[in-house]
Amino acid sequence: MTEETFVPAASEWYYPSDEVVKNAYIQDYDAAYAEAMADTPAFWAKRAETLDWYQKWDKVLDDSNAPFYKWFVGGKTNIVLNALDRHIKTWRKNKLALIWEGEPGDKHTYSYWRLWQEVNKFANVLRSMGVKKGDRVTIYMGRIPELVIAMLATAKIGAVHSVVYGGFSEQALADRIEDAQSRVLVTCDGAWLRGNIVELKKIADQAVHKSPVVEHVVVVKRTGHDVHMQAGRDFWYHDLMALPIASTNSETEVMDAEDPLFILYTSGTTGKPKGILHTHGGYQVYTSTTLQWTFDIKDEDRWWCAADPGWITGHSYIVYAPLILGATGFMYEGAPNFPYPNRWWKLVEEYGITILYTAPTAIRGLMRFGDAWPKRHNLSSLRLLGSVGEPINPEAWKWYHSVIGGNKLPICDTWWMTETGGFMITPLPSVGLKPGSCTRPFPGIIADVVDDEGNSCPPGVEGKLVIKNPWPGMLRTVYGDPERMVKTYFSTYAKQGWYLAGDSARRDEDGYFWIIGRIDDVIKVSGYRLGTAEIESALVSHPSVAEAAVIGVPDEVRGNVIYAYCLPRAGVAISEELVDKLKQHVRDEIGPIAVPAKIEFVSVLPKTRSGKIMRRVLKARAMGMPEGDTSTLEE
Ligand code: PRX
């Protein structure tokens, strides 16, 4: 290792300082990787032994019904046993589990003891509403501690949570409630965002109207503005938590390792979102190991994963993994630039954050405001930085490294997906970095870049990213549609049994992976994952649109923005007003994250003779590039 910490070499390598290496759990990546690959089930078993189980597993991996793999078969546990119950028997009961700041500046802290008590109380509330093991509970909230409490309470009683991101509209929420058949919905009156109230309860009311399977709605009072409460159906969280039934004694349900923990909906190639299902046993082993080794979490750390708990990043690395490791996590409710663009840096300084994990879109967004904002603050508490959600461009990487990281902090660029449960290709802090590369696979993971026949691509050649072996954090199924899981992820390389990520990538001579982007009809907008089909179907559900095609166009800050091409129905007059109406319509159907940056009316859409829209042609046109082979074009 070089003495000069993190000075870029000519080849753009960045090496960690001796101190970073000395602190790292894994100081020799190659040795750790080799050990994990020598006997992978034994490796994961060793990791699982660091956690508590009511009963030990009989078999680490059952691959007899691949790709429906089972991990820690016969083991009995509950993720809450590891995330909370075990800590309150140790000194950690007094340690801060969660530090929270609201957008208006209000603050709350939870020790492990207090969090455990709140979770127990809410678990009893849910039980009193008749929620049992295996039942689904939908959670639709802003970024407040009660969201974490609701997730843990649901898991504690063996029910299955389905968290729907607070930026989704009533239709998206209704669809997800309906698919999961949740009888209980937990929400809040509103959430603060950029000084405004997001009317979550109002949206929830409309969703419940569309999806009447919901019998009870629990409402956390956050913003305190007037909301409609329907007698007999809606209850205030604080009223329920004050009832004698909400006692702090609550048994943790004994779960089979393979019992479901949560469903999380994500976008794919069809209009219907997929409910990705994760389980108690393997997920707890995978998320806690990946967090500990990648971000080197220690008891002294203050870990800030600046994602939303409503996405997988939040599930795995705000809620479960940090708590399992007994770490102190920080969570902030609002916008990064509210009221000024220094808000995040002020938070880092004030709370002494040691590790910051965020998305390239946030980095680029804050970079735009200039260096003066972070430079006002003392960021010297930081010791590691992280990135996730989309490829980080070298310019943003370098800004993050130099301005936020004082030219010395490593950036762990973690590649993974909702389906993988945790980090798959990621640097450990002791390895050399190259800006823009997520480096090499986590120990225990075999990743490759292959061509259509499954041959490994030579260095520098683009191909499909695949995972060639099972891992404990992998999805178990698509809720209610196991066939879709096989078809989407395991049919392209069925013969070999490999998992298809849906990303294209390159590997360089050093074996470092460079993610290029999605190969399917999925667009990453500000790190959010959206399906073109979802947005197209929202557009054509408007009476003025006959057909629609949606593409992602590169954008400096958001990674991609959405362009939509609409074929109007006969007799429809095209106007700016109609464009606004359609944008509003998409907002109502999916949510603000899906609103196209541009809507253009066309008289014809480029299609193949078999009727498939050639989005590639639209994209080339939008970007002013050659259209490529258009010989299959119908018109
Ligand atoms: O395209 C990849 C991109 O995000 C996709 C997964 O999206 P989602 O399930 O929403 O999960 C995001 C958070 C884990 C991937 O198929 N992606 C994720 N991380 C990276 C990335 N692309 C490049 N570099 C990353 N570090």
Strand partners, 505: 463, 515
User: Separation of 630 CA from ligand 1 center, angstroms?
Assistant: 31
User: Separation of 517 CA from ligand 1 center, angstroms?
Assistant: 9
Residue 491 has pLDDT above 90, yes or no: yes
User: Separation of 15 CA from ligand 1 center, angstroms?
Assistant: 25
If one compares 562 and 6, the residue with the highest pLDDT of the two is: 562
Give the tokens for residue 258: 């393979």
What's the rounded Cα separation, in Å, for the pair 297 and 287? 12
Say what the pLDDT of residue 635 is. Answer: 55
Say what the pLDDT of residue 211 is. Answer: 94
**Mutate which of 426, 503, 521 to test ligand 1's pocket (most atoms within 8 Å of Cβ)?**
503
Protein residue with its CA nearest to atom 12 in ligand 1: 389
Residue 276 has pLDDT above 50, yes or no: yes
Say what the pLDDT of residue 414 is. Answer: 98
Beta strands 191-193 and 196-198, pairing class: antiparallel
**Mutate which of 529, 534, 558, 593 to test ligand 1's pocket (most atoms within 8 Å of Cβ)?**
529
Question: Which is the closest atom of ligand 1 to the Cα of 307?
Answer: 13
Residue 189 has pLDDT above 80, yes or no: yes
Residue 10 pLDDT class (50, 70, 90 cuts): very low
For the chain, what is the mean pLDDT? 95
Protein residue with its CA nearest to atom 22 in ligand 1: 390
pLDDT tens-digit readout, 392-434: 998 999 999 999 999 999 999 999 999 999 999 999 999 999 9
Percent of the chain predicted with pLDDT > 70: 97
Residue 194 pLDDT class (50, 70, 90 cuts): very high
From 153, 148, 145, select the one nearest 85 (Cα to Cα): 153
Say what the pLDDT of residue 107 is. Answer: 98
- Block residue for tokens 């089909």: 533
Residue 3 pLDDT class (50, 70, 90 cuts): very low
Residue 270 pLDDT class (50, 70, 90 cuts): confident
pLDDT tens-digit readout, 602-624: 999 988 887 788 888 898 888 88
Residue 137 has pLDDT above 70, yes or no: yes
DSSP one-letter code for 242: T
What's the rounded Cα separation, in Å, for the pair 616 and 635? 15
Give the tokens for residue 108: 């709350």
How many Cα atoms sit within 13 Å of 450 on the Cβ side?
18
Protein residue with its CA nearest to atom 26 in ligand 1: 415
pLDDT tens-digit readout, 317-329: 999 999 999 999 9
User: Separation of 529 CA from ligand 1 center, angstroms?
Assistant: 8
What's the rounded Cα separation, in Å, for the pair 240 and 315? 25
Question: Which is the closest atom of ligand 1 to the Cα of 419?
Answer: 9
pLDDT tens-digit readout, 572-582: 999 999 999 99
DSSP one-letter code for 61: E
User: Separation of 502 CA from ligand 1 center, angstroms?
Assistant: 10
Q: DSSP per residue over 171-235, as a string? A: HHHHHHHHHHT-SEEEEES-EEETTEEE-HHHHHHHHHHH-TT--EEEEE-SS-------TTTEE
What's the rounded Cα separation, in Å, for the pair 28 and 24? 9
pLDDT tens-digit readout, 528-541: 999 998 999 999 99
User: Separation of 603 CA from ligand 1 center, angstroms?
Assistant: 35
Mean per-residue pLDDT for 375-379?
Answer: 98
Least confident of 254-258, 356-360, 562-566, 603-607: 603-607
Say what the pLDDT of residue 9 is. Answer: 42
Other CB atoms closer than 10 Å to residue 529's CB: what's the count? 20
Residue 634 has pLDDT above 70, yes or no: no
Ligand 1, residues at Cβ distance < 6 Å: 266, 312-313, 388-391, 413-418, 438, 501-503, 515, 518, 524, 529
Question: Which is the closest atom of ligand 1 to the Cα of 418?
Answer: 9
User: Separation of 281 CA from ligand 1 center, angstroms?
Assistant: 23
User: Separation of 561 CA from ligand 1 center, angstroms?
Assistant: 16
- Block residue for tokens 């002294």: 300
User: Separation of 97 CA from ligand 1 center, angstroms?
Assistant: 27
Cα R_g (the chain), whole angstroms:
24
The one-letter amino acid code at 173 reads L
Residue 282 has pLDDT above 90, yes or no: yes
Protein residue with its CA nearest to atom 8 in ligand 1: 417
Residues 352/96, Cβ–Cβ less than 8 Å:
no
pLDDT tens-digit readout, 54-78: 999 999 999 999 999 999 999 999 9
Mean per-residue pLDDT for 452-467?
Answer: 97
Give the tokens for residue 116: 């455990």
Protein residue with its CA nearest to atom 7 in ligand 1: 417
Give the tokens for residue 511: 């074996």
Residue 201 pLDDT class (50, 70, 90 cuts): very high
Say what the pLDDT of residue 629 is. Answer: 65
- Block residue for tokens 């793999």: 69
